[in-house]
Structure formats: C-alpha cells, structure tokens
C-alpha cells in the first residue's frame, strides 16, 4: 500500500483497481452468492471502469476521460439486461445488490483520484497516504484502548451491531488519530494549518467508525463473520477498507473545498 501510494501513478492505479475488484468479489459473494453471475461480472467491470475514468480525469483532464465516461453505459446497461433474464422473485432486489457496490466501493475509491492528483495532473499520493496513516492510527487506538478498558466493564458503543465496540475504544481512536495528525503536521506530510489537521483527523475517526459499523451491520444481516479470507485473522479487503469507504470521501471533499481552487 505504501509503495503504491508513493512510487508511481501507474502502480497506484493497479493497486487501487485490484483492491476495488477484490472488494466487489467479496461483496457479491457475501450478498448474492451464485445468483446472476453474469450481472456480477458486468457490475465488477463497471466498478473498475469508474475508477479508471476518474483516474484519467485526475491525471489528464476531463476531455481525456470523456470516452471512458461514456463507455460506462455498456456494463451498466448489461447489468440491467442480466436482471431481465433472471426472472426469480428476487430479481429486482438482487439488482439493487448488483449496483450497491458501485456506490459503496467504486465511488469512494474513484474520489481518491481527486486527491492523488493535483489540478495540474501531478501525482501526490503522499497526501492519500497521510489519510491512511490517520485511519490506521485510529483503528490501532480503538483496538488497544477498547481491549484494555472497554471489553469487561466498558460502555458499549453500538451493541446491536457490534457488541465488542465500546465508547472507551472510540475515545482511544480519537486520541491516536489526533496524535498521528499532529505527527504528520510536524513532518509536513499534511501541508495545512494545525486546526485543519485536527478537523481532518476528527472526520476520519468519526466517519471511519461509522464505516466500520456499517460493514458490521451488513455482515450481521447476511450472516457472515468476515467478507473474505485474503488476510488470515483480519478477513477480507472489505473488512480492512470499511472505514476508508465512508470517511475518506468526506475528508477529501473537505480538502478540496478549502484548499483546491
């Protein structure tokens, strides 16, 4: 991940597109199983194509991405055609699940491109890495403080969805994320005033927890423990990126609103 965000924009594109593809597979396996495999394939390609379109838009400008943007109609239309040929009683419920990862996975990762490239198309993956470092610090703080103080006599954060999460762990997430943001500010990895770093860390921490709870709710609804097994003991990529899927688009929007003219 670190190499993909720092070395070269092509490596970044391959890394992120691969992550999107794997998460689409995990999502479809969790929600649809073997239902409408054709629709799943076209949904998968629609997600990858959406990311590629915004990558080209960020790196080369909108005019270079027009063809790719229009080509999105092909897999999206193919998904609808596959729904028509799957005439089960749940065909249109399944259609919603075919399109949901476009909104839940592909759109957030596509928004990454508008931070990974500046308005002149220059690669600046280090800023995206800074957001990941804050999120990782938040996760570590939530785990350590939650395990140490929130498991036995702690105050449950959202027991109906995630019984192990506690307010103590949430406070740990806040502390660790703010500590990482301060460190990045001192290292000039985040070229903003200190109070903007505080707000970015707050956004990533709060909405990262919401993203975590959202994915936990989906897993509970569909009756699975992990979305995948790509990382033993940690689950799938969707389990690892759940916080980023909701928090990063909001954090990037904040950056674009205040710092990109």
Q: What Cα–Cα distance (Å) separates residue 148 from each residue in 152, 161, 213? A: 9, 21, 20
Q: 156 forms bridges with which residues in the sheet? A: 166
Length of the chain: 261
The pTM assigned to this predicted structure is 0.92
> What is the per-residue DSSP string for 155-171?
-EEETTTEEEEEHHHHH
Tell me the pLDDT tens digit for each residue of 46-71: 999 999 999 999 999 989 999 999 99
Half-sphere exposure of 234 (CA within 13 A, CB side): 11
Tell me the pLDDT tens digit for each residue of 87-118: 777 888 889 999 999 999 999 999 999 999 99
Of the chain, the percentage scoring pLDDT greater than 90 comes to 70
Half-sphere exposure of 72 (CA within 13 A, CB side): 18
* Token reading at 96: 């919603």
> What is the per-residue DSSP string for 171-227?
HHHHHHHHHHHHHHHHTTSS-S-HHHHHHHHHHHHHHHHHHHHHHHHHHHHHT-S-S
């Amino acid at each position: 991940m670190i190499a993909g965000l720092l070395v070269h924009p092509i490596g970044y594109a391959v890394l992120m597109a691969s992550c999107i593809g794997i998460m689409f597979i995990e999502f479809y396996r969790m929600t649809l199983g073997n239902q409408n495999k054709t629709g799943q394939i076209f949904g998968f390609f629609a997600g990858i194509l959406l990311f590629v379109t915004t990558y080209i838009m960020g790196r080369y400008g909108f005019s270079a991405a027009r063809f790719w943007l229009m080509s999105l109609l092909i897999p999206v239309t193919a998904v609808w055609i596959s729904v028509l040929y799957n005439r089960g009683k749940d065909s249109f419920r399944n259609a919603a699940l075919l399109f949901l990862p476009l909104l839940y996975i592909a759109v957030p990762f596509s928004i990454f491109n508008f931070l990974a490239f500046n308005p002149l198309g220059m690669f600046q993956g280090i800023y995206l890495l800074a957001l990941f470092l804050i999120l990782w610090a938040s996760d570590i703080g939530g785990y350590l403080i939650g395990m140490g103080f929130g498991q036995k006599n702690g105050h449950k954060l959202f027991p109906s969805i995630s019984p192990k999460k506690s307010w103590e762990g949430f406070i740990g997430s806040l502390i660790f994320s703010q500590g990482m943001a301060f460190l990045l500010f001192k290292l000039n990895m985040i070229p903003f005033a200190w109070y903007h770093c505080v707000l970015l860390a707050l956004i990533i921490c709060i909405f990262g927890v919401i993203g975590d709870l959202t994915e936990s709710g989906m897993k509970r609804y569909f009756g699975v423990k992990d979305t995948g097994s790509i990382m033993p003991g940690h689950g799938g990529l969707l389990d690892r990126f759940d916080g980023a899927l909701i928090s990063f688009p909001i954090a990037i929007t904040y950056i674009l609103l205040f710092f990109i003219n």
